[in-house]
Structure 1
Amino acid sequence: MDLREDVEKYIKKKYKASPEYLWKRYPDYAVFRHEDNRKWFAIIMDVDADKLGLPGTERIDIIDVKIDDLMLRDILLQQEGFLPAYHMNKGSWITILLDGTVKVDEICNMIDASFLDTASRKKKDKFCQAKEWLVPANPKYYDIEHAFDETDEIDWKQGARIIKGDTVFMYVGAPVSAIFYKCKVTEVDIPYEYEDKNLSDRAKLYKEEGTQYYHGNLYVPDDLESIEL
């Protein structure tokens, strides 16, 4: 079995995605996409070497995968076996040679990353590994010490990358400077209507707190107040 077959077998087994052959002119170009949002996460092609900027004219198997991390993309392009994306957006995709230059495990890792980069939120929750987060809680605005006195579950402001199953450590800053609770995220993207009990005097509270650390002129605008610079 050649490397192309190994990669296709990996995708089919892990992601239950079958190749789609979309072009009559290129019958061996295989697209793999998500079933729900229909986004592509990989395309396997056979291309003339000279079209990739390589010597010779023999046909070479390649795979294009999505890569959102531009710094990682630039690093990979300096390594043998990685090329600017062929046929796809060079700013967000990358080409990997399927000739043995890059190890199959590394190729599979790149496919996994591409799959997650293009997945729906629901699918990301299913495939992403749980992470741990340290979340600050200001006792001036929320009684975190007694938050769980009468319930086992509370709502909290959601960070952009937090997903169901993650662990959150609730941290209280100075003068307490301690972790109060270790929590498990049970739900995300909960609709809510925000109401701040301190809205009317929030600027005053922030100013009082700020003067503890800064002794110059301190100005805190009220909510929705615009400042001309």
Structure 2
Amino acid sequence: MKKTIKKQSSYRDEILRYAMDKYGTRPEYLWARWPNYAILRRTDNKKWYGAILDVPRERLGLAGTDVVDVLNVKCDAGLYAFINGESGILRGYHMGGTWVSVLLDGTVAREQIFALLDASYKLVGPRKKVQ
């Protein structure tokens, strides 16, 4: 008998709408193998500032077998040290450096998620030249 994996409710659509409204970003779906992985990329330099992935909870080290959406965002080292390990904020799934994965199941407040997405957008932006 096939195992049924239920997906929890998610802020996925709200985040995609927010990214479109604020930054003009349309999600990119880059891999046929993972059709729900939505990549958010800056239009000016093409760098990723967010990735929404649907991941089985056990792959994140969490209890349960259901699939949950996460938002991977980049944060600076100080913020990373402060928020990594907070409820609903995990070490970045499949990302290095100072990326974190934020659960989109309601564990983390919508406003905090938007703030983290904004910070990530700024971090991957063009560097200002020093004169």
Q: TM-score range by the shorter chain?
A: 0.7 to 0.9
What one-letter code is carried by the residue in structure 1 that aligns with 2:100? I
Give per-residue Cα distances to partners, 1:26-80, cap 9 Å, x unaligned: 0000001011211000000100000000011110000000112x23212212310
Larger RCO (CA under 8 A, 6+ residues apart): 2
| TM-score, normalised via structure 2 length | 0.87
Q: Distance in 2 between matches of 1:3 and 1:64?
A: 13
Please tell me whether residue 112 in structure 1 is matched to residue 113 in structure 2: no
Give per-residue Cα distances to partners, 1:175-197, cap 9 Å, x unaligned: xxxxxxxxxxxxxx4xxxxxxxx
Please tell me whether residue 15 in structure 1 is matched to residue 23 in structure 2: yes
Larger CA Rg, structure 1 vs 2: 1
Please tell me whether residue 100 in structure 1 is matched to residue 97 in structure 2: no
- The total of aligned residue pairs comes to 123
Q: Distance in 1 between matches of 2:39 and 2:100?
A: 15
Q: CA RMSD in A?
A: 1.7
Shift of 1:2: 4.4
| TM-score, normalised via structure 1 length | 0.51
Q: Distance in 1 between matches of 2:95 and 2:26?
A: 20
5 Å-filtered alignment, 1:48-197, equals: 48-68=56-76, 70-89=77-96, 91-121=97-127, 189=131
What one-letter code is carried by the residue in structure 2 that aligns with 1:87? H
The 4+ residue runs of structure 1 with deviation greater than 3 A are none
Matched position secondary structure for 2:79: helix
Give per-residue Cα distances to partners, 1:144-187, cap 9 Å, x unaligned: xxxxxxxxxxxxxx9x5xxxxxxxxxxxxxxxxxxxxxxxxxxx
